[in-house]
């Protein structure tokens, strides 16, 4: 029995699946940050881990954006949209790193005062801009 397959639907499915697979590590890191407790964290090991994850997210975004910008340079028809999406991704990645930073409290102890609401906003912005970059690159 022969199965008729619409070639266009297969390629769309592959693109969507590849975008999903690309986003999985980013979603995992963001989920780790967002699920951190809202009250100040006292463990220095935990604080260092949060700072490290924030830095890792920003570093990964910077590498991702450099590829997006290279694609933009090679494709005039998507150049301005791609640069805008890359700029938004850079901004969100930087903001996430800043939210994960630690500060000394009045007793000299390291504390994280990351605001969960702002972290969720930054994460949504990052996921949105990364998705835009991937979709533009896929055209």
What is the DSSP track for the chain? ------HHHHHHHHHHHHHHHHHHHHHHHHHHHHTS-SSPP--HHHHHHHHHHHHHHHHHHHHHHHHHHHHHHH-GGGHHHHHHHHHHHHHHHHHHHHHT--EE-TTS-EE----HHHHHHHHHHHHHHHHHHHHHHT-
Range among 47-51, 85-89, 127-131 with highest mean pLDDT value: 85-89
Task: In whole angstroms, give the CA distance from residue 52 to residue 97.
Answer: 9
Under 8 Å between Cβ of 51 and 101: yes
pTM: 0.69
Q: Please give the pLDDT value at position 11.
A: 40
Where exactly are the structural domains of the chain? Answer: 44-137
Q: What is the pLDDT of residues 67-124, one digit of tens each?
A: 999 999 999 999 999 999 999 999 999 999 998 887 766 776 666 666 778 888 888 8
Q: Please give the pLDDT value at position 53.
A: 87
pLDDT of 130 strictly over 50:
yes
CATH superfamily label, 44-137: Alpha-catenin/vinculin-like (1.20.120.230)
């Amino acid at each position: 029995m022969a199965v008729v397959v619409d070639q266009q639907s297969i390629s769309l499915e592959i693109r969507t699946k590849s975008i999903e697979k690309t986003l999985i590590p980013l979603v995992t890191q963001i989920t780790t940050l967002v699920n951190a407790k809202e009250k100040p964290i006292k463990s220095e090991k935990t604080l260092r881990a949060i700072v490290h994850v924030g830095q890792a997210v920003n570093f990964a975004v910077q590498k991702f954006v450099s590829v997006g910008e290279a694609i933009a340079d090679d494709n005039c028809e998507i150049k301005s949209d791609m640069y805008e999406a890359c700029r938004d991704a850079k901004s969100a990645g930087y903001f996430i790193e800043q939210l994960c930073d630690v500060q000394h409290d009045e007793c000299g102890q390291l504390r994280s005062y990351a605001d969960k609401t702002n972290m969720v906003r930054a994460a949504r912005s990052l996921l949105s801009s990364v998705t835009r970059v991937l979709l533009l690159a896929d055209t």
